[in-house]
Amino acid sequence: MTLTIGIDIGGTGIKAAIVNVVTGEFASEKIKVATPEGAFPGDVARVCHDLVEELDPQGTLPVGLCFPFVIVDDVARSASNVDASWIGLKVGDLMEATMERRVHVANDADAAGFAEYKFGAAKGHEGLVLVTTLGTGIGSALIYNGVLVPNSELGHIPIPGYRNRTAEQLAANVVRERKRLSWKRWAARLQVFYSLLEKLFSPSLFIVGGGVSKHYENFLPLISLRAPILPAQHFNDAGILGAAALAEFTE
């Protein structure tokens, strides 16, 4: 099927659109609504139901959803900016029962990374692509020859020499903003993180996403690695695109 609904669920907002999973373009308007207060599973599921009914009242399209937590075998294993009652929940079953259509669920960083591989800065790239998203935390995605290795969570790696602070405690974009770090000082922290990732994984390409990547010229040229390091292309739409693509390409 060429058209799939993608839904990106965050702690404050939920975004949805119909996606052409061949071209990576939206085939509908993008709808954004507030996440229900508390972000409880049933409430979120009902909002997603209403969104897909608005986008596809005929009920013919499959749905891909991405969430801000680790998902293993459709079960939520963590909860970030949503209620803790998600943990241990069979997320796919809840969404299919509520929406009465086929769904695929994934982690939001994995979805964003897959979008960059299918439609963005890493399109068609062979070997290991390592995608990071710099924001409130640091998300990550590993794609090897087009196959997603899910739930990498590389932002939680302790950084040697920094009192075992994690990468996101040291170098997330929110840290730059809170500490009012210059681009140069922040890039020095990112250098430590990306050098460690290169030592551990030897990727053939790094992609850097998150809203701050729109300002990549201020910090990416200051980072020196063996592999190329490029800004993401899809920014805030990556979750929708990747969720839709994963729903199509993993079936």
Q: What is the pLDDT of residues 143-172, one digit of tens each?
A: 999 999 999 999 999 998 888 899 999 999
Residues 6+ apart with CB under 8 A from 193: 138, 157, 159, 167, 170, 171
The reply to whether 105 and 10 lie within a common domain is yes
The reply to whether 205 and 135 lie within a common domain is yes
pLDDT at 250: 60
Q: How many domains would you assign to the chain?
A: 2
Is residue 96 situated within a structural domain?
yes
Closest CA to 158 of 195, 205, 199, 193: 193
Distance CA 232, CA 226 (A): 18
What's the token pair of residue 183?
Answer: 């681009």
Distance CA 63, CA 48 (A): 10
Distance of CA 24 to the CA centre of its chain: 16
Is residue 116 situated within a structural domain?
no
Are 207 and 80 a contacting pair, CB within 8 Å?
no
Are 14 and 48 a contacting pair, CB within 8 Å?
yes
What's the token pair of residue 56?
Answer: 């596809």
In this prediction the pTM is 0.92
The parent domain of residue 86 ranges over 3-111+237-249
Closest CA to 143 of 40, 224, 246: 246
Kindly list the distances between the CA atom of residue 69 and the CA atoms of 36, 77, 89, 111, in Å, as whole numbers in the listed order. Answer: 17, 7, 12, 12
pLDDT tens digit sequence for 31-64 = 999 999 999 999 999 999 999 999 999 989 999 9
Q: Which residue has the tokens 């599921």?
A: 45
The reply to whether 137 and 213 lie within a common domain is yes
Q: Which residues of the chain have pLDDT under 50?
A: none
Exposure of 204 by Cβ count < 10 A (0-12 exposed, 13-18 middle, 19+ buried)? middle
The reply to whether 13 and 79 lie within a common domain is yes
pLDDT at 217: 97
The reply to whether 60 and 135 lie within a common domain is no
Is residue 26 situated within a structural domain?
yes
